[in-house]
Amino acid sequence: MQLLLTLVPGLPLLSATLLLLVGRHLPKAMVTACGVGSIGLAGIAVALLLNQWLISPEPFSVTLWQWLSVGSFRVDIALHLDQLSIIWLCTITGIGFLIHLYSSEYMAEDSDYSRYFAYLNLFVASMLVLVLADNLLLLFLGWEGVGLCSYLLIGFWYQDAANGAAARKAFLWTRAGDAAMAVGLFLLVAEFSSLDIHEVVAGAQLAWVEGSFLPNVACALIFAGAVGKSAQLPLQTWLPDAMAGPTPVSALIHAATMVTAGIYLLARLNGLYILAPAVLSVVAMIGMITAVVAAFAALAQHDIKRILAYSTISQLGYMFLALGVQAWDAGILHMMTHAFFKALLFLAAGAVIECLHHEQDIRRMGGLRSRLPVPFWSFLIGSAALAALPFTAGFASKDLILLRVWSSGPEGALLWSGAAVGAFITALYSFKLIFVVFFGDINTEPTRQPGWRMAIPLGVLAFFSIVGGFISLPLDSVVPLANEEPPHGLIAMVTAGIPIVGVLVAYLLFGRQWIRDLAGPMHSTVGTWLAAFWHGGWGMDTLYRRTLVQPYTALARGLRNEPIDVLVNLIAWITTQFHLGLAATQNGQLRRYIAIMVVGLILMLSLVDGGAS
């Protein structure tokens, strides 16, 4: 058990190290074996762990070694397995393996094949460290490792300057959240003088009064980190641009790693968040608004990957909404089902893009249903799950979230209506995608069909996108579960019906040629303006560019030669002057050296004072 748990993050890490050091000199088959095999073996280790777990569900920790032990301060490198981390383990290694397998075909022609797999392995390893970490320091290490790898992978094709810019954007935006989170973690460590997550949470529950100042501040700061990593308002703008990386990387970022880290963090610290109800309602509100706003933005996109990117932001909003109303289990279930169908959608999109010679604009696609059957069926199942149609995995989790939100309290109805609007738009854009890409007239002929290494992951993920919702997640020992049953009756029927209405509307709007012609006049000035507005992600990018980036660069440019700059440079100048002054004493002459020694000695001796003892 202990060894198995160590192998889970250990194997990908080992493979990443190997590939980084000597990957260039290895034959391609070797690289594939290392890159895909390490995740596969880690997946097998997780399966064995799970098997053990089902027999005896006892949480346990493995202390690998002690990193620091200075006085009373000690940091262990320790892994902890419990109900929460095992769910993430299964998702990360399972979906991670499928994405690696898919990548081995998708990236086969790339000249930097080994570098790609090295980063990909490191990405998975960091995420595994993050979810297995027993203490806040290790968690932070995994957290930052994930951030670093996302930067490396988004900018993987760095020869194109735009990709580099997208990578930097992702890095800087998540860093903004991380800065706040680090302060929050410092606050926890300072308060409880322990890094151990369980000790900190237990200590907080003993020492802190619910709703008082400190838990609110700590939770808000840590939530800021989660907002950055999980691309919630107002730090969401990096995710659509993160499409610059290879498509399997997007799948990995959106499904198995990275963006679910924020969800994990909040779920892991639920004992802390319960002490801060005000922050929790902010979490719910931000989640709801993000879900709606991102859904509208997805509706207006033309790039197939950007549609999926906005849909991820929107779905993450639902997860935060669930966490915010303390429906912890619903949020975690949605994380898992979303991982299935979003990985499926991204990989299917990758197959479409690859088979159409890197065409990403859906307006130049169409009629692909019979030409690309495997991606079509994958997409259909994925979109159905995304839209939360009944009998899919997405329905099981999203329906649960909506019902829990309804019964969550005084704000429940408001949050529910927002979420319901979001669910309607979600169904609309996911089936718009289906109708535009796979029905209608053919616009671009596919040049090839996906091979088996692409088809198998699609099949497996499609299977789980349907049945994934029936997996019951035992979470009783890690999060408090709701006692009452979700509401029945009219509200349940309305909730379940919304996606179906959305699909019908999508059919009417995008599936029928005559209605499309009829809707021509709707492209009025207001309509186009709104579409453009949503297309630009509610103008958030523009807003940030205008309010933050441009003033900042203008300020920087303006100050380049200005007096304030001199003040800043003064430190460097003074330091340099000191250096020069001191360096002048080093003239290489013995008598100077001796003289300085003697003067120094006399000064030291002059400190001796007869009275002191």
Q: Which residues bind other proteins (CB under 8 A)?
A: 65-71, 73, 77, 575-576, 578-580, 582-583, 585-586, 588, 590, 592-594, 596-597, 599-601, 604-605, 607-610, 612-613
Q: Which is nearer to other proteins, 49 or 152 (CB)?
A: 152
CB of 162 to other proteins, least distance (A): 24
Q: Which is nearer to other proteins, 528 or 576 (CB)?
A: 576
Compute the distance between CA of residue 202 and CA of residue 206 in angstroms, rounded to an integer. 6
Question: 169 with 238: CB under 8 angstroms?
Answer: yes
CB of 601 to other proteins, least distance (A): 5
Burial class (CB in 10 A: 0-12, 13-18, 19+), 284: buried
Query: Which three-class secondary structure state does DSSP give residue 409?
Result: coil
CB of 577 to other proteins, least distance (A): 10
CB of 96 to other proteins, least distance (A): 25
Question: 402 with 472: CB under 8 angstroms?
Answer: no
Chain mean position to CA 328: 18
CB of 113 to other proteins, least distance (A): 21
CB of 133 to other proteins, least distance (A): 16
CB of 73 to other proteins, least distance (A): 7
Q: Which is nearer to other proteins, 549 or 601 (CB)?
A: 601
CB of 191 to other proteins, least distance (A): 17
Q: What is the 3-state secondary structure (H, E, C) of 426-469?
A: HHHHHHHHHHHHHCCCCCCCCCCCCCHHHHHHHHHHHHHHHHHH
Q: Which is nearer to other proteins, 72 or 370 (CB)?
A: 72
Q: Which is nearer to other proteins, 55 or 590 (CB)?
A: 590
Closest CA to 181 of 142, 221, 144, 131: 221
Strands 73-81 and 60-70, by their bridges, are: antiparallel
Question: 403 with 495: CB under 8 angstroms?
Answer: yes
Q: Which is nearer to other proteins, 69 or 477 (CB)?
A: 69
Q: Which is nearer to other proteins, 567 or 605 (CB)?
A: 605
Structure tokens at 46: 């997780």
Q: What is the 3-state secondary structure (H, E, C) of 296-339?
A: HHHHCCCEHHHHHHHHHHHHHHHHHHHHHCCCHHHHHHHHHHHH
Query: Which three-class secondary structure state does DSSP give residue 496?
Result: helix
Compute the distance between CA of residue 89 and CA of residue 8 in angstroms, rounded to an integer. 8
Q: Which is nearer to other proteins, 567 or 607 (CB)?
A: 607
Q: Which amino acid belongs to residue 403? A: L
Q: Which is nearer to other proteins, 522 or 598 (CB)?
A: 598
Report the run of H or E that residue 151 belongs to, with start and end.
Answer: helix 136-154
CB of 433 to other proteins, least distance (A): 45
Q: What's the Cα-to-Cα distance from 325 to each of 408, 422, 487, 544, rounded to whole Å?
A: 6, 17, 15, 30
CB of 22 to other proteins, least distance (A): 12
Structure tokens at 516: 């499309």
Q: Which is nearer to other proteins, 3 or 604 (CB)?
A: 604
